[in-house]
Amino acid sequence: MVSFAGQNRYSNSTKVLLDEALLISQGAEDIKSLAHSHYALGNYQFFHSKLDSALIHLNHAKEYVDQISDPLLESSIISSQGGIYKRKGSTILAISTFLESKRILDDIDTLKLSEKEKVKRRGKSFVLLNGLANLYLQTTDYEKSLACYDQAIVEANKLGDERNLILIQGNKGELLLDIEKGKEALDIFLLNRKLKKELHFPERFMYSNSLRLGRAYKFLRKDSLAQVFLQEAYLGYTKINFTSGLIYTNNALGDLFLKTKQYQKSLLYSEAGKALAKEAKDTEHIQQASYQIYQAAKQIKDSDRALANFEIYTVLKDSMYNEKKVRQMTEMSMQAEFDRKEAERFLIQERKNRQKNQLIYGLIAISIIGILLFLFYRNKLQFQKTISKQQKELHHQKIVELQQKNKLTALNSMIEGQEAERMRIAKDLHDSLGGLLSTIKSHYESLCAQNKAQQDKELSKKTATLVDEACIEVRRISHNMMPHALHLSGLKGVLMDMEEQLQANGYETQFELEGIPHLEETKKVMLYRLIQEIISNIKKHAAAKQILLQFFTHNNKLHLTIEDDGKGFNTKDAKAKGGLGLSNIESRVAFMDGNLQWDSEHNKGTTINIEIPV
């Protein structure tokens, strides 16, 4: 009901609806509804120029809104009070009221507002800024007025309100003209003229723009252009019979013709402006027109006319000065009364806030104690759970470590057993089978020497060759299983033999063996077996032509790098297939507490980096 009345505040039925809404709110004892009802009634009386009644309702609305938390409504109520003070001519009181309203708006936490409320707040801020700018202009505080206009323009831009934006920019242009920044004012007026045409503003607004352009050109001493636009405004205002516009335009034309020494025209327009100002009881413009008539009449030697208007000008000037002083004193008195009431309201509110705060602090203290107790028992429970979890994890870790230790012990035993078995088999191959083959060859050569038959020579030669190859193969197998060079020449010597064998098989090799440190026997054998396994894999699978093997020691760690230029492979896929070659290599590295890194790409070879503590 209040909302509908607010949207139709000029209709005859509005007052009835608002009175009914107020009665309903009083019956329901709804504080918020009472605040809204009195606020709406205050606005109704304000728009119907019943300022005292409007102020009474707004004061009631303010009393109710102080009991609830609705900063948007509170700001609106105070803003309406400021509008009444402005209408009554209490400029200073209106400014202080508008500033209070704006402070409330600025203190609102916008994060808690809905999108609709945010737009509403921005709209109220824009209206307040524009109102403040106009009030500061009346007090000739041009700096503050200009700042408020600029802020209002920013808010209008955010709202996308093009029409109000144009009007504010026009007001700003008037201010710039008053502070003698004619070029800036002219630029604004020219842009406004273009935008008003595009947005199809009513004729009255177009004529006001012509008046402003005429004044700007007059200030810039472009008299011909000033005359064109002022006469355009004059004809337009005459057409729509807009008295206020005609007063401004006649006086402006009278002043222009006075400055261009066209005294008869100056008298014509100044007299017309003076007559209209008398009808409108516009003292300021009567004074201006009388002064212009005095100046023009003096120039054409019309002494009586000049003297009569000079007397009018002087009387009005003194009267306006006295009126201004009286108004200032009245405003100061009203401001003092306003400040006194505000101080009383502040003390009452402060007392209420103190009581409210004491209650809040008590509740907060109780809540804190409860929270602390809750946190204490929760943390105690969590601590117990954490200790229990840590103990379980520690127990599990010990089990895992024991399992790993057992695995390593088993692996060590297995590898040592394998090496012992390799040594036994190698010794048997070398001593028994090798010796036996040698004896067979010796006996066979004796038989061949006794049998001189020509037809058996070729067969005998082939048989001798096969026996030689068998002896060589037995030595090679025995050497691979446990090379004597590893005991005699150490790891470096056996690797040099390996390099020679690879070169004999057609590989290009580069073995850098200077960085091999002194190693214990078991680790030396394990490292040899590891390199042997890697080289074997390269020969079987890589299709490589070049092999690099490099040793160096750093920070008590042996670094081994083996590279080939073969076809490469996908390490993830190879591990997923579970090949024994990769598994054997990784097991041997793990046995020596080392780290292994594979780097292989298709057709770009393979690099193996191994790091073993020494």
* Confidence grade of residue 190 (pLDDT, cut at 50, 70, 90): very high
Model confidence over 300-341: pLDDT tens digits?
999 999 999 999 999 888 776 555 555 555 555 555 555 565
Helix (H, G, I), strand (E, B) or coil at 562: strand
Helices 162-178, 182-198: crossing angle, 10 deg rounding: 160
pLDDT at 480: 55
The whole-number average pLDDT for the span 598-609 is: 89
Lookup result for tokens 């117990």: 384
CA–CA separation, 145 and 79 (whole Å): 17
CA-based max dimension of the chain? 175
Q: Are 236 and 206 in contact (CB under 8 A)?
A: yes
pLDDT at 32: 87
pLDDT at 385: 85
Helix (H, G, I), strand (E, B) or coil at 226: helix
pLDDT at residue 364 tops 60: yes
**Angle CA(127)–CA(133)–CA(135) in degrees, nearest 5?**
105
Between residues 579 and 67, the one the model is more confident about:
67
Long-range contacts of 494-501 (CB under 8 A, 24+ apart): 494/528, 495/528, 495/531, 495/549, 498/531, 498/532, 498/535, 499/549
Contacts of 271 (CB under 8 A, 6+ apart): 289, 293
pLDDT at 425: 61
Model confidence over 121-157: pLDDT tens digits?
888 887 888 888 888 887 888 888 888 888 888 888 8
Q: Which helix (H) or strand (E) holds 612?
A: strand 606-613
Q: Where are the beta strands (DSSP E) in 214-292?
A: none
CA–CA separation, 540 and 520 (whole Å): 30
- Mean pLDDT score across all residues of the chain: 81
Model confidence over 248-295: pLDDT tens digits?
999 999 999 999 999 999 999 999 999 998 988 888 889 999 999 999
pLDDT at residue 202 tops 50: yes
* Confidence grade of residue 561 (pLDDT, cut at 50, 70, 90): very high
Model confidence over 28-56: pLDDT tens digits?
888 888 888 888 888 888 877 788 888 99
pLDDT at 437: 62
Model confidence over 452-464: pLDDT tens digits?
554 456 666 666 6
* Confidence grade of residue 299 (pLDDT, cut at 50, 70, 90): very high
Helix (H, G, I), strand (E, B) or coil at 558: strand
Side-chain half-sphere CA neighbours of 55 within 13 A: 15
Contacts of 420 (CB under 8 A, 6+ apart): none
pLDDT at 217: 94
pLDDT at residue 349 tops 70: no
Q: Which two tokens stand for residue 487?
A: 């005991």
CA–CA separation, 286 and 273 (whole Å): 8
CA–CA separation, 71 and 169 (whole Å): 29
Q: How large a percentage of the chain has pLDDT more than 70?
A: 79
Model confidence over 493-545: pLDDT tens digits?
888 888 888 998 899 999 988 878 888 877 888 888 888 889 988 888 888 99
Q: Which helix (H) or strand (E) holds 355?
A: helix 303-428
Smallest CA-to-CA distance from 293 within 316, 323, 318, 322 is with 316
Helices 115-138, 91-106: crossing angle, 10 deg rounding: 150
Q: How large a percentage of the chain has pLDDT more than 90?
A: 21
pLDDT at 157: 85
pLDDT at residue 475 tops 70: no
* Confidence grade of residue 183 (pLDDT, cut at 50, 70, 90): very high
Q: Which two tokens stand for residue 613?
A: 């503590």
What torsion, rounded to 10 degrees, do the Cα atoms 351, 357, 362, 364 define? Answer: 180
Q: How far is CA 353 from the centre of its chain?
A: 37
Q: Which helix (H) or strand (E) holds 301?
A: none
Model confidence over 221-242: pLDDT tens digits?
999 999 999 999 999 999 988 8
